C-alpha cells in the first residue's frame, strides 16, 4: 500500500498546525543552514539589482543643466572593446567613454523597469515552482539575472538597459516567492524563523555589496563583478536536493526520505515528519479557494484590506526610492560627505538592523512595531524635506550637512523594525488557509505595482516639485499609515490562526 493510502486509513485528519508540535527526535541543523544560505544567494542577487541604480545613474545620466549636450551612440563592437578594457583593470574610464547618456526620464524608466518585470513574475514563479520543483526554479532564476548583467556590460543604448532591468525584475519577482518557499520547506519548526530571516539579511547584504563595489569601480566594472553572484547561486542550488514537501507532493516518497535525511541527518527518524507533510498537503488540497472567496466573508475581506493596505504603505513610504536613489539624494543635498561613503554607511546600517530586527521582532506586538516604524520614518522624511527646504532658501548653519545622512540612517532603522518585515510576516497570519495562495499572490503583485509607481515617480517628483515637497508628501503618507495601523490592523502576536480568524469575523 502507498504512503498516501496509509494516510487515508487514519481515523481522523490531524490538524496541520497541531502536527507541527509532534515531538521529533533531535535533528542536525548544519545542512539546514547550508541550504538556507545557498538559496538566499538569490536574495543577494535581488539586493544587487535593487541597489544598482543608486551608484550607476549619477555616472550615466545627463545632469539637468547639461541636458542639451547629449552625446551620440557608438557601435556595439566599440562598446564591447571598451567594456573588456575596463574589466582588465582600466579603472580610469568613465561613463562618457561608453558612448551614451540617459535623460532624466530614461533614468527613471531604467529604475522602474525592475518593478514591471517583478510584477509579471511574482505569481507565475510560485506556479512554476509547483510544476518543476523548488530547486529547479531557483536554478533557472539565475539565468535572467545573468542575462541582465551581460546586457548591461555590453549596453550601447538605453533600450538595452531597459531590457536588462526587465529581465532582472523577472528574476527578482520570482525569487522573492521561491527562495522563502524553499527555506520554509526544508527548515524544522525550531529554526524556521531564524532561517527565514536569512532572506532579508542577504537582500541587505546585496545592497551593501553593490554600494561598496560601486564606490570603488566604474559602473561597467561593478556589473561584471555582480555577474558572478547569480552564477554562484545556480552552482550552489545544483548541489542541493529538492524540498521534501515538493517531492512528497509529486509522489516521490523515496526521494523525499533522502531529502529529509540530508537536512536532518542520516540517523534521523523521518517517519513522523513525513506524516506531518502528507497531512498538511492533504488538508491544503481540500481547502483550495478562488478569487470570489477573498470577499466571501467579513473576516476574509478585513484580512485582505489589512494585508493590501500594509503592502501599499510599505512601498508608498518611499523605501525603494531611498534604496534606488541613495547616491543621487546625497549628491543633490550637496553635503561635505562623499555620497558613495554615505550610501555604504546606510547599507551597513540596513544589514545590521535586519539582523537585530529578526532577534527582537517577537518581543512586542505587531501593531507596536508597525506604529513605531511609521512614526519614526515620518519624522525622518520630514527632516529630509526640511533640509532641502532650508537649502532652497539658502539657510545654513553648523551641522546641517549631517542631517541627510542621519535622517536616512534612522529611516532605514525604523523601516527595518516594522514596515519592512512585518507586512510579509503578518500576511501569513491574517489570511485564512483556504485563501492564502490566491490572497498572497494578489498582495505580492500589489507590492511590486507600487514599487514601480514610487521608483518611476520619485525622480520626476524630485525634479518637478523639489526635494522638500517630495519628502513632505512621503511624511503625509506615513502619517496615514500610522492611522491605518491604529484603526484597522489587528494584533496577531500570541494568537492561534483560529483566534485571529474569530477576531477578524467579529
pLDDT score for 112: 79
Confidence class for position 286, pLDDT limits 50, 70, 90: low
Whole-number average pLDDT of the chain: 78
* Gap between the Cα atoms of 102 and 453, Å rounded: 20
Phi, psi dihedrals of residue 61, rounded to the nearest 5°:
-100, 140
- Is the predicted pLDDT of residue 242 greater than 90, yes or no? yes
With cut-offs at 50, 70 and 90, classify the pLDDT of residue 237. Answer: very high
271-286 vs 253-264: helix crossing angle, rounded to 10: 120
| C-alpha span between 98 and 328 (Å, rounded) | 20
Distance (Å, rounded) from C-alpha 222 to C-alpha 175? 22
Which CATH number describes the domain made up of 290-505? Answer: 1.20.1250.20
Tell me what the mean pLDDT of segment 446-472 comes to.
81
Residue 486's pLDDT is 93
Rank 212-226, 256-270, 293-307, 465-479 by mean pLDDT and report only the highest: 212-226
Residue 490 has pLDDT above 80, yes or no: yes
Name the strand (E) or helix (H) holding 195: helix 189-216
Distance CA 34, CA 265 (A): 13
Q: How far apart are CA 262 and CA 348, in angstroms?
A: 34
Domain boundaries, the chain: 28-61+101-240, 290-505
The rounded percent of the chain whose pLDDT value lies above 70 is 78
Reported as half-sphere exposure (CB side, CA atoms, 13 A), residue 60 has a value of 28
Q: How many angstroms separate the CA atoms of 4 and 2, rounded?
A: 5
Task: Return the sign of the alpha-carbon dihedral for residues 216, 218, 219, 220.
Answer: negative
Class of domain 28-61+101-240: mainly alpha
Q: DSSP for 25-59, please give it.
A: -----HHHHHHHHHHTHHHHHHHHHHHTHHHHHHH
User: 306 is written with which cell numbers?
Assistant: 489589512
Asked if domains 28-61+101-240 and 290-505 share a fold, the reply is yes
Q: Which residue has the cell 483550495?
A: 288
Would you state the pLDDT for residue 299? 81
Q: What average pLDDT does the segment 478-489 reach? A: 94
| Cα–Cα dist 370/419, whole Å | 6
Percentage of the chain modeled with pLDDT above 90: 23
How many residues are there in the chain? 506
Q: Indicate whether this model's pTM tops 0.75.
A: no
Closest CA to 334 of 386, 405, 382: 405
Q: Averaging pLDDT over each range in 1-15, 108-122, 475-489, which range is the top one?
A: 475-489
Amino acid at each position: 500500500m502507498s504512503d498516501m493510502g496509509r494516510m487515508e486509513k487514519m481515523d481522523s485528519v490531524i490538524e496541520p498546525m497541531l502536527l507541527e508540535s509532534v515531538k521529533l527526535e533531535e535533528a542536525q541543523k548544519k545542512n539546514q543552514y547550508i541550504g538556507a544560505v545557498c538559496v538566499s544567494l538569490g536574495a543577494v542577487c535581488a539586493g544587487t539589482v535593487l541597489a544598482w541604480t543608486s551608484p550607476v545613474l549619477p555616472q550615466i545620466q545627463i545632469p539637468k543643466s547639461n541636458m542639451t549636450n547629449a552625446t551620440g551612440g557608438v557601435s556595439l563592437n566599440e562598446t564591447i572593446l571598451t567594456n573588456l578594457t575596463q574589466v582588465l583593470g582600466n579603472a580610469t574610464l568613465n561613463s562618457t567613454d561608453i558612448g551614451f547618456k540617459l535623460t532624466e526620464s530614461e533614468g527613471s524608466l531604467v529604475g522602474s523597469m525592475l518593478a514591471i518585470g517583478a510584477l509579471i513574475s511574482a505569481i507565475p514563479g510560485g506556479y512554476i515552482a509547483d510544476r518543476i520543483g523548488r530547486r529547479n526554479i531557483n536554478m533557472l532564476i539565475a539565468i535572467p539575472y545573468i542575462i541582465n548583467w551581460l546586457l548591461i556590460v555590453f549596453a550601447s543604448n538605453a533600450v538595452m538597459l531597459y531590457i536588462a532591468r526587465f529581465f532582472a525584475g523577472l528574476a527578482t519577482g520570482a525569487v522573492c516567492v521561491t527562495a522563502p518557499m524553499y527555506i520554509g520547506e526544508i527548515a524544522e519548526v525550531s529554526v524556521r524563523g531564524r532561517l527565514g530571516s536569512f532572506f532579508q539579511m542577504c537582500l541587505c547584504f546585496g545592497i551593501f555589496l553593490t554600494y561598496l563595489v560601486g564606490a570603488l569601480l566604474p559602473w561597467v566594472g561593478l556589473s561584471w563583478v555582480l555577474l558572478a553572484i547569480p552564477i554562484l547561486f545556480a552552482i550552489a542550488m545544483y548541489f542541493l536536493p529538492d524540498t521534501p514537501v515538493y517531492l512528497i507532493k509529486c509522489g516521490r516518497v523515496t526521494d523525499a526520505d533522502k531529502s529529509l535525511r540530508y537536512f536532518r541527518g542520516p540517523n534521523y527518524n523521518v517517519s513522523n515528519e513525513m506524516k506531518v507533510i502528507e497531512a498538511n498537503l492533504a488538508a491544503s488540497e481540500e481547502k483550495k479557494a478562488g478569487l470570489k472567496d477573498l470577499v466571501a466573508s467579513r473576516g476574509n475581506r478585513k484580512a485582505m484590506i489589512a494585508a493590501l493596505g500594509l503592502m501599499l504603505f510599505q512601498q508608498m513610504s518611499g523605501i525603494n526610492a531611498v534604496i534606488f536613489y541613495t547616491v543621487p539624494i546625497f549628491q543633490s543635498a550637496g553635503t561635505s560627505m562623499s555620497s558613495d561613503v554615505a550610501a555604504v554607511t546606510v547599507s551597513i546600517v540596513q544589514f545590521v538592523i535586519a539582523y537585530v530586527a529578526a532577534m527582537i521582532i517577537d518581543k512586542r506586538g505587531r501593531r507596536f512595531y508597525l506604529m513605531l516604524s511609521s512614526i519614526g520614518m515620518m519624522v525622518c522624511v520630514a527632516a529630509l524635506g526640511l533640509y532641502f527646504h532650508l537649502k532652497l532658501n539658502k539657510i545654513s548653519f553648523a551641522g546641517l550637512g549631517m542631517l541627510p545622512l542621519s535622517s536616512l540612517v534612522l529611516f532605514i532603522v525604523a523601516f527595518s523594525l516594522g514596515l519592512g518585515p512585518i507586512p510579509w510576516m503578518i500576511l501569513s497570519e491574517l489570511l485564512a488557509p483556504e485563501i492564502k495562495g490566491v490572497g498572497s499572490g494578489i498582495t505580492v503583485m500589489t507590492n511590486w505595482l507600487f514599487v514601480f509607481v514610487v521608483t518611476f515617480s520619485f525622480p520626476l517628483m524630485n525634479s518637478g516639485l523639489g526635494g522638500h515637497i517630495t519628502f513632505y508628501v512621503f511624511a503625509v503618507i506615513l502619517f496615514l499609515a500610522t492611522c491605518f495601523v491604529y484603526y484597522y490592523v489587528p494584533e496577531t502576536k500570541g494568537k492561534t490562526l483560529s483566534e485571529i480568524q474569530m477576531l477578524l469575523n467579529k
